[in-house]
């Protein structure tokens, strides 16, 4: 097997010019720049084009992906990424646009953004959306900065943000980026926010509560209206972390649950590919009260023409340059056109159905710590398996041998040996049955051949990776002569 890096594959190809001469007289930058500003050598390797293609395609083959494998990664909504989305995002009329072109030359793009914004407003019940944030956490930052600015403008002394103990780690991290102290509210044994405990935490200094609903345990927060009432009465806002919105598309709207700010992960709910970790898009919507604080610019229509309006005196400013990951937005728009109103509802239905089916078929093998009806994902605890010698980690690694990407493990932190399965709606019953059988088989293997599980995976390009060594003596880059 070829285990070389690109740097070990250098050839003697020297003449690389994809563009050709421009025809202008050539001058040496040295004559315009002081010597100390000029670079002496550029130590990059030379490679031939065919070698580059072979190298990187060879690497790609060592990845599991949603196109090639079942990928039930909890909280990540790894649904099938429709191929038409890719075709649309690559249209010349989109790819070739410069962000500072005059509005009259980009009306098609602005129309797309305008329509996408209206669709997301309808789906969530929000008033306006910004597309600038480029990931979920980036959306959280934008949303919480708006809340912060609102409170400041209204001279309210707000110091804390409440998050449940089961929250995504990004929630408390965002709260502290915005200068708020994080207060953690515990969950009940049933896995829902403990409303009584919450009551004792909410006061005049509460800026907001950040919630995921369904929560990270895959359960619907049934007391959401009580919670929103409690927070609103103290002048706080409800922030909706939309990571799990897939379960509720067309069933309810965050606005109906009392949320004031919403971020949607377009790369989860609206089928845009994850690209090994990005680019994504964390569109943020707000209700009336917060519209003035949205990042600049916002789309505006005047006498039939769309343009970007930068004149928003209360805006939080910008969270990145330009308008967000536009090519991702084209994909989400395409997906929404394909599905329409009925299609979205079907997404929710089948995502919840699939998760409950998996839960039902595995509950006699793996402990279900929260017996309530789950939404789009189900949490198992591998506690019993651990007692028999195999941890959630071992089981996850063994799944790779069955050609299945491991689920999310050890999250939420409140569940020991957590195993979080989100099958999504795009998996067939047949695929689910295969997963269920694999999980049962592994459970049997733990009794029959524990070592096989503990030393898994056996079929992958590399065997179990030594992550401790990686962290103890970090090797973070290639060097000419080793380390």
Partner 1 sequence: MPYILNTDRDREEMLKAIGIDSIEELYSQLPARIKLTKPLNLSSGLSEHKTKKRVSALAKKNVPAEEFNSFLGAGCYDHYVPSVVPFILSSSQFLTAYTPYQPECSQGALQAIYEYQSYMCLLTGMDISNASLLDGASAFAEAVLMSLRITKKKKVIVAGIFHPEYRQTLKAYLAGFDFVIREIAEGTDGLVDTEALKQALDNDTGCCAFSSPNFFGLIEDAPKLADIAKRYGTLTVLVTNPISLAILKEPGAFGVDIVCGDGQPLGSGLNFGGPSFGYLATKKEYTRQMPGRLVGKTTDREGKCAYCLTLQTREQHIRREKATSNICSNQSLNAIGAAVYLALMGPQGLRNSALCSFNNTLYLYNQLKPLKKINLPFGPRIFNEFVWEVKNAQKIIEQLYRRNIIAGYYLGEQFPEYKNGILSCCTEKKTKEEIDELVGVLREVPGG
Partner 2 sequence: MADVKFAQSHEWVRVEGECAVVGITEYAQKQLGDIVFVELPKVGDKLKQSFQFGVVESTKAASELYAPLSGQVNEVNTDLVHNPQWVNEEPFGKGWMIKVKIEDKDELGRLLDEESYKALVQKEGH
C-beta of 118 vs 176, nearer to partner 2: 176
Q: Which residue shows structure tokens 């056109």?
A: 337
Distance from C-alpha of 420 to C-alpha of 422, rounded to nearest angstrom: 7
Write down the least CB distance from residue 2 to partner 1, Å: 11
374 in Cβ contact with 427 (< 8 Å): no
CB of 445 to partner 1, least distance (A): 17
- Only one of the segments 196-204, 231-239, 324-332, 437-445 lies at the binding site for partner 1 (rule: CB under 8 A); that segment is 324-332
Q: Which of residues 380-419 bind partner 2 (CB under 8 A)?
A: 410
Using CA atoms, how far apart are residues 171 and 161, in angstroms rounded to an integer? 9
Instruction: Give the Cα separation of 235 and 256 in Å (integer).
Output: 18
The CA-atom distances, in angstroms, between 100 and each of 83, 108, 110, 130, 322 are 29, 15, 13, 18, 9
Q: Which of 26, 42, 471, 476 binds partner 2 (CB under 8 A)?
A: 471
Site for partner 1 in 167-226 (CB under 8 A): 168-170, 172-180, 182, 220, 222, 224-225
Among 406, 419, 420, 443, binds partner 1 (CB under 8 A): 406
| Residue 467 near partner 2 by CB under 8 A | yes
Q: Is 2 in the site for partner 1 (CB under 8 A)?
A: no
Supply the DSSP symbol for 187. Answer: B
Q: What is the closest distance, in whole angstroms, from the C-beta atom of residue 463 to partner 2 in the complex?
A: 17
Residues 342-361, interacting with partner 1 (CB under 8 A): 342-347, 349-350, 352-354, 356-357, 360-361
Residues 21 and 481: beta-carbon distance below 8 Å: no
CB of 258 to partner 1, least distance (A): 9
Going across the sheet that includes 418-421, the strands are 378-381, 418-421, 408-409
User: Which residue number, 40 or 472, has a Cβ lying nearer to partner 2?
Assistant: 472
Binding-site string for partner 2 from residue 224 to residue 263, where x marks contact by CB under 8 A and - marks none? ----------------------------------------
43 binds partner 1 (CB under 8 A): yes
Pairing between β-strand 418-421 and β-strand 378-381 as defined by DSSP bridges: antiparallel
Q: Select 387 or 449, whichever has its Cβ closest to partner 1.
A: 449
Site for partner 1 contains 8 (CB under 8 A)? no
Q: What is the DSSP code string of 272-304? A: ---TTT----EEEEE-GGGGGGSPSPEEEEETT
Q: Does 72 interact with partner 1 (rule: CB under 8 A)?
A: no
* b/e burial code for range 364-379 (CB count within 10 A of at least 16 → b): ebbbbbbeeebbbbbb
**How far is Cα 47 from Cα 4, in angstroms, rounded to an integer?**
14
Query: Smallest distance from the beta carbon of 465 to partner 2, in angstroms?
Result: 11
Q: Does 468 bind partner 2 (CB under 8 A)?
A: yes
List interacting residues with partner 2 (CB under 8 A): 410, 467-468, 470-472
């Amino acid at each position: 097997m070829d285990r070389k890096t690109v740097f070990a594959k250098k050839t003697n190809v020297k003449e690389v010019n994809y563009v050709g001469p421009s025809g202008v007289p050539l001058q040496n930058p040295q004559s315009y720049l002081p010597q100390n500003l000029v670079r002496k050598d550029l130590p990059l390797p030379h490679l031939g084009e065919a070698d580059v293609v072979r190298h990187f395609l060879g690497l790609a083959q060592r990845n599991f992906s949603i196109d090639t494998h079942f990928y039930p990664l909890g909280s990540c909504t790894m649904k099938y990424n429709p191929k038409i989305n890719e075709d649309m995002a690559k249209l010349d009329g989109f790819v070739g646009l410069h962000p500072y072109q005059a509005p009259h030359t980009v009306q098609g793009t602005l129309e797309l953004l305008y329509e996408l914004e209206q669709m997301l407003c309808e789906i969530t019940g929000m008033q306006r959306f910004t597309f600038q944030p480029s990931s979920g956490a980036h959306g959280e930052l934008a949303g919480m900065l708006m809340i912060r600015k609102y409170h400041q403008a209204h001279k309210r002394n707000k110091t804390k943000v409440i998050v449940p103990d089961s929250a995504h780690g990004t929630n408390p991290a965002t709260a502290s980026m915005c200068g708020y102290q994080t207060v953690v509210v515990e969950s009940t044994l049933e896995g829902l926010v403990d409303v009584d405990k919450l009551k004792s935490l909410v006061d005049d200094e509460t800026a907001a509560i950040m919630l995921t609903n369904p929560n990270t345990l895959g359960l619907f927060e049934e007391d959401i209206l009580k919670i929103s009432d409690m927070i609103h009465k103290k002048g706080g806002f409800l922030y909706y972390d939309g990571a799990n919105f897939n379960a509720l598309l067309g069933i309810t709207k965050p606005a109906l649950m009392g949320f004031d700010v919403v971020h949607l992960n377009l790369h989860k709910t609206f089928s845009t590919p994850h690209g090994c970790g990005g680019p994504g898009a964390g569109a943020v919507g707000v209700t009336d009260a917060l519209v003035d604080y949205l990042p600049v610019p916002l789309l505006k229509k005047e006498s039939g023409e769309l343009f970007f309006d930068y004149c928003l005196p209360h805006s939080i400013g910008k969270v990145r340059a330009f308008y967000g990951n536009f090519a991702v937005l084209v994909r989400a728009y395409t997906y929404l056109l394909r599905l329409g109103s009925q299609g979205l509802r079907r997404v929710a239905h089948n995502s919840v159905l699939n998760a409950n089916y998996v839960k039902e078929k595995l509950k006699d093998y793996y402990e279900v710590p929260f017996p309530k009806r789950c939404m789009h994902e189900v949490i198992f605890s591998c506690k019993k398996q651990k007692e028999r010698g195999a941890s959630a980690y071992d089981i996850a690694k063994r799944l790779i041998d069955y050609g299945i990407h491991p689920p999310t493990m050890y999250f939420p932190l409140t569940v020991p040996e957590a195993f979080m399965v989100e099958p999504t709606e795009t998996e067939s019953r047949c695929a689910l049955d295969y997963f269920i059988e694999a999980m049962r088989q592994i459970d049997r293997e733990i009794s029959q051949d524990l070592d096989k599980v503990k030393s898994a995976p056996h079929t992958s390009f590399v065997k179990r990776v030594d992550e401790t060594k990686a962290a103890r003596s970090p090797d973070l880059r290639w060097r000419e002569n080793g380390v």
